[in-house]
Amino acid sequence: SGVASVEEVDTAVSRGPGLRWAVMGPHLIYHLSGGPGGIAGHMAHLSRSKEAMLRDLASWTAFPAGTAES
């Protein structure tokens, strides 16, 4: 959707959640980010935005044009 370039995504992951995911894994990160509610709290807060993202990805039947261009 043009939200971020490949380089921007790589930078965000490597300097953002990437290090924590390597140490704890995404499920523990989700549990911890939910506060006292754990994963349920995380999903209650973010499920609408996550569902929107999944709906967009679910429509892919092939890689978008230009995916492999640098």
DSSP string, 38-65: HHHHHHHHHHHHHHHHHHHHHT-SSPPT
Q: Model's pTM, two decimal places?
A: 0.47
How far out from the chain centre does Cα 60 lie?
17
Cβ atoms of residues 12 and 4 within 8 Å:
yes
Q: Can you give the pLDDT of all 70 residues of the chain as single tens digits?
A: 788 887 888 777 767 766 666 667 677 878 888 889 988 888 888 888 888 888 877 677 777 777 776 5
